[in-house]
Amino acid sequence: MTELPASTTRKMGLVIDLDTCVGCHACVISCKGWNTENYGAPLSDQDPYGADPSGTFLNRVHSYEVQPDQGAAQLIHFPKSCLHCEDAPCVTVCPTGASYKRTEDGIVLVNESDCIGCGLCAWACPYGARELDQAEGVMKKCTLCVDRIYNENLPEEDRVPACVRTCPAGARHFGDFADPESNVSQLTAARGGIDLMPELGTRPVNKYLPPRPKDQLEGQIDILAPLLAPVVEEPTGFLGWLDRTLGRL
Partner 1 sequence: MHPAPSVILFTSLSGLGFGLLVFLGLGFPDVTGWTAFAFFVLSYLLAVGGLSASTFHLGHPERALKAFTQWKTSWLSREGWFSVAALLVLAAYGAGLVLLGTRWSLLGWLGAGLSLATLIATSMIYAQLKTVPRWHSPLTPAMFLSTGLAGGALLAGQVTAALWLLLLAGLVQVAYWITGDRALAQSGTTLASATGLGPIGRVRAFEPPHTGSNYLTREMVFVVARRHAVKLRVIALALMVVIPVLFLLLPFSHAWAALAALSHLAGVFCARWLFFAEAEHVVGLYYGRR
**Where do contacts with partner 1 occur on this chain (CB under 8 A)?**
1-3, 18, 28, 52-57, 60-69, 73-76, 78, 80, 89, 91-98, 114-120, 122-128, 131-134, 136-139, 194-201, 208, 210-211
How far is it, in rounded angstroms, from Cα 161 to Cα 239?
A: 62
Ramachandran sector of residue 4 (left: φ over 0; alpha: ψ -120 to 50; beta: rest) = beta
Instruction: Give the shortest CB-174-to-partner 1 separation in angstroms.
Output: 20
Residue (3 or 179) nearer to partner 1, CB: 3
CB of 210 to partner 1, least distance (A): 6
CB of residue 108 to partner 1, shortest distance in Å: 14
Concatenating the DSSP letter of every residue in 93-131 gives T-SSS-EEE-TTT--EEE-TTT-----HHHHH-TT---E
| Nearest distance in Å: CB 152, partner 1 | 33
The torsion defined by the Cα of 168, 169, 171 and 172, in degrees rounded to 10, comes to 20
Q: 207-209 and 12-17 as β-strands: parallel, antiparallel, unpaired?
A: parallel
Q: Which is nearer to partner 1, 136 or 147 (CB)?
A: 136
Torsion sign, CA atoms 240, 242, 243, 245: positive
Q: Whose Cβ is closer to partner 1: residue 10's or residue 60's?
A: 60
Cβ count within 10 A of residue 19: 14
**Least separation, in Å, of the C-beta of 90 and partner 1?**
10
From the list 117, 99, 116, the residue with the least C-alpha distance to 108 is 99
Question: In this complex, which beta carbon is closest to partner 1, that of residue 94 or of residue 149?
Answer: 94
Q: Could you give phi then psi for residue 203, rounded to 5 degrees?
A: 50, 70
Looking at beta carbons only, is 46 or 151 nearer to partner 1? 46
